[in-house]
Amino acid sequence: MKRLFKLSLAVALTLSTAIPALARDAHALLIGASQYQNLDESAWLNGPKNDITLVRDYLKANPVLSFAPEHVHVLADGVAGAAPATLAAIRQEMAALAANVVAGDFVYLHFSGHGTQAPAADPDSELDGLDELFLPVDIGPWNDTVGGVENGLVDDEIGQMIDAIRAKGADVWVVFDSCHSGTATRAAPSGDDDVRQRQLKPKALKIPESRMAEAESKARGLAAADPRARAAASIESTGDAAATPNEGQGRLVAFFAAQTNETTPEKNMPRGQPGRKPQGVFTYTLFETMAERPGITYRQLAQEVLRKYAVLNLARSTPLFEGDLDQPVFGEGGAGLILQWPVTVAGAELTVPAGLLHGLTPGSDLLLLASPADPDEAALASYRVREATTFAATAIATDEGAAPEVPAGAVLRKVSNGIDFSLTVALPPEGTTAAAAMQAAVAQMMQEPAIASRINFVPAGTEGADLRLAVLPDSPRPDAIWILPSTGLVAPEELARTPSVSTADKTPDKLAAVMADSFATIAKALNLMKVGAATANTSLPVEAGLITGRFDSRTEEVIASSRLPVAGADVPRMVPDDVVGLRLTNTGDSPVDYNLLYVGADYSISFMGNGRMQPGATLDDDFVLISDASFGRDRLIVILSPAQPQSAVEDLSFLEQNPLELSRSAATPRGIKGMLDEAGFGQTTRGAVSLSSRRKKADPVPVFLQYEIDTVPGGS
């Protein structure tokens, strides 16, 4: 596996103190393309109109930066009062923005819809020979006369439009929830019947296959030459987004839902909640994270989006983030904002202008406070969310006796976030011998109380499952139960590293034991990431960053000149003999303990070391050596905890576990219950973490940092 060495990636944990001057005005242009009149209906999308409505409503109630309704412009079919997002309309609105903004203004741009790739008009201008396109609703087919797709919005033109706005001194944040290429195969039903990939294949636009083949051959050659390389951003700008702007030029931050060689989905969101509707997964996750953590930096926002993708298995894509990511989101300082909202009395209930998007789900605990500045200890009463929609929630009192009088100016404050350590597993569709064997094994497992209370088996296609089981008759193991992520998706090239358990050679007892062992291993890795997600609002005065390098097997040392910090919130691609390192600096006045854990794509957990940093101390070392034993999406988790004087260093080495075997044919001798106890299933299934920073004396809690790493085979 990836094993012992040492580590480093540049990511600041504390908010930047270099906050720019407050923007004079905030402007937004929201572009959504759903129904493409010149394309077959099978290519239409359902989510962009919902994305645009969600973003518009959020911006108008934004607690960090106020967007006046007259400054929020919408181009989206299916949105009442909005014109459709044609190419001409997009050009007109972008030109109007460039004409109207002044220095110091803030501009938010959002693009939701299909993307694609086409042969570049100037092949020498694109490294891979391809232009990336956003597709307006009046997109047409390939036109040989002009050598391009009719009414396609090319990345170069988008970059020029943005540059015109920045030239006026306005800061720009642009978000693209679209994608361009890639393949995925659904191997198990997910319950999301309307899941669609926001990618239109070039064939649908009648782009000549010979032209695409030539460009794609060039792209494959580049990938073979440098397996670490990722595709560049899908907009072109006259300046580097991450660089310091030219004098008088506004800043640029750009978020992309996927790399240019990936797809990104839209599905019913929020997952498993009533009233869900088709949304771009990236758009919903992005705004959900901002609503839960107002005032964070772009880098922190990016990291939390990646963490949610990991914990919830939301999508297979890897978002890309570029620009000055250490500035606060929307260019305003909002650090320390508490999750609390003004209340409205509705009979015996209270309502607040926040809901599912803000992390308020039925059962969430709230405190009623007379003033937004009051500490938790001054609470007038406790409440619990009864029901919630995207932007609203209703709460009922949980204290015994009559509900207290609600004073003018009162607020409800969120004070806890439940962590569900149970595992929900969707069974394979009925009708095969292997599926019947799994049903018999489930009956055996349900006789064990430790399993029955902590693993939820649900029918095939049920939404919200953590894992999905499938039978693949055309696979090398047709009698096996394949263990898939919550998406139910597996690409053909990923089958070799997808775990499966044979059924023909096992009695129900033996199959139950092996499956329980597998579930225990998976749950331990997933639960570790769930804890990290629940503590995301906490902070310690520690600066952290990843560093990558190269190991020289001849000298058995890391090549000093190869050690480089990872830029932005990138997900680095690593090949065998690459090294991952970490740089930590304790900027506070108290000691901090650190534990380093490496969670592999095979659900292994490797303990990479621990220690204590005194105030002012810096750790700069290499910890992880990439091997050729396993490839996929790995995670480096750094757990920081306040240290008490004269105490022993926090030691989390007990969390270490071996990888999940890919092809299992023999039962474990340790039995079902032993496996679950070892995985922590014997503990309580729910816990609470305080989200309040207004205690009289705050109790410090551990901080979980999570870094995504893609491990890939090396080049020839």
Distance from chain centroid for Cα 593:
27
Q: Phi and psi for 70 in degrees, rounded to 5?
A: -70, -10
Report the pLDDT averaged over residues 203-225: 65
What are the pLDDT digits (tens) for 339-372?
889 999 988 899 999 988 888 888 889 999 999 8
307-336 pLDDT per residue, tens:
888 877 777 788 889 998 989 999 876 555
Q: At a CB cut-off of 8 Å and minimum separation 6, what does 505 contact?
A: 665
Is the distance from CB of 74 to CB of 85 less than 8 angstroms? no
Measured at the CA of 452, the angle between CA 446 and CA 454, to 5 degrees, comes to: 145
pLDDT tens digits along 484-494: 988 887 777 78
- Asked whether residue 524 falls in the same domain as residue 545, the answer is no
Instruction: State the pLDDT confidence band at 243, using cuts at 50, 70 and 90.
Output: very low
In a domain, 679, yes or no: no
* Residue 359 located in a structural domain: yes
CB atoms within 10 A of CB 193: 9
In a domain, 680, yes or no: no
β-partners of residue 134 are: 115, 153
Q: How far apart are CA 261 and CA 227, in angstroms?
A: 14
Sign of the Cα torsion 189, 193, 197, 200 reads positive
User: What integer pLDDT is reported at residue 426 of this predicted model?
Assistant: 94
Are 69 and 197 part of one and the same domain? Answer: yes
Say if residue 677's pLDDT is above 80. no
Arithmetic mean of pLDDT, 274-283: 86
| Average pLDDT value for residue range 286-298 | 89
Asked whether residue 482 falls in the same domain as residue 548, the answer is no
Domain boundary among 485, 511, 528: 528
DSSP character at residue 195: -
Asked whether residue 573 is assigned to any structural domain, the reply reads yes
Q: Of 532, 530, 514, whose CA–CA distance to 466 is shortest?
A: 530
pTM exceeds 0.85 for this model: no
705: β partners: 638
Average pLDDT, stretch 637-648? 88
Tell me how far apart the alpha carbons of residues 245 and 249 are, in angstroms, rounded to a whole number: 6
Quick one: 396 and 442 in the same domain?
no
Please tell me which residue, 182 or 448, carries the higher pLDDT value. 448
What's the pLDDT band for 7 if we cut at 50, 70, 90? very low
Q: Look at the chain and count its residues.
A: 716
pLDDT value of residue 536: 67
In a domain, 88, yes or no: yes
Cα(162)–Cα(437) distance, rounded to whole angstroms? 58
The partner residues of 102 in beta bridges, in order of sequence, read none
Q: What does the alpha-carbon distance between residue 264 and residue 258 come to, in Å, rounded to a whole number?
A: 6
- With 70 as the cut, is the pLDDT of residue 124 above it? no
Domain contains 338: no
Indicate the pLDDT class of residue 519, thresholds 50, 70 and 90.
very high
CATH of the domain at 252: 3.40.50.1460
Total Cβ atoms within 10 A of residue 278: 22
**Do 392 and 511 share a domain, yes or no?**
no
Q: Of 296, 331, 366, which closes a domain?
A: 331
393 lies in the same domain as 278: no
pLDDT at 594: 92
Nearest to 47 by CA among 278, 269, 286, 287: 278
Overall number of domains in the chain = 4
- Tell me which range, 447-456, 507-516, 701-710, is most confidently predicted by mean pLDDT: 507-516
On the question of pLDDT at 419 being above 60, the answer is yes
Residue 18 domain-assigned?
A: no
Here the CATH number for the domain that contains residue 567 is 2.60.40.10
Same domain, 287 and 360: no
Looking at the fold, whether 163 and 84 belong to one and the same domain comes out as yes
Q: Dihedral angle at the C-alpha atoms of 503, 506, 511, 514, nearest 10 degrees?
A: -100
> For residue 235, what pLDDT band results from cuts at 50, 70 and 90?
low
Does 385 lie in the same domain as 439? no
Among the candidates 528, 545, 560, a domain finishes at 528
Instruction: State the residue range of the domain holding 433.
Output: 423-528
226 shares its domain with 193: yes
Q: Which residue has the higher pLDDT, 246 or 465?
A: 465
Q: Say if residue 18's pLDDT is above 70.
A: no
Q: Cis peptide before 492, with omega less than 30 degrees from 0? A: no
Q: Regarding predicted confidence, which is higher, 478 or 242?
A: 478
Rounded Cα distance, 186 and 494, in Å? 12
The more confidently predicted of residues 562 and 262 is: 562
Q: Provide the terminal-to-terminal Cα distance of the chain, rounded to the nearest Å.
A: 21
- Say yes or no to pLDDT of 227 above 80: no
SS3 of 7, please?
strand
Same-domain pairing of 468 and 569: no
524 and 544 together in one domain: no
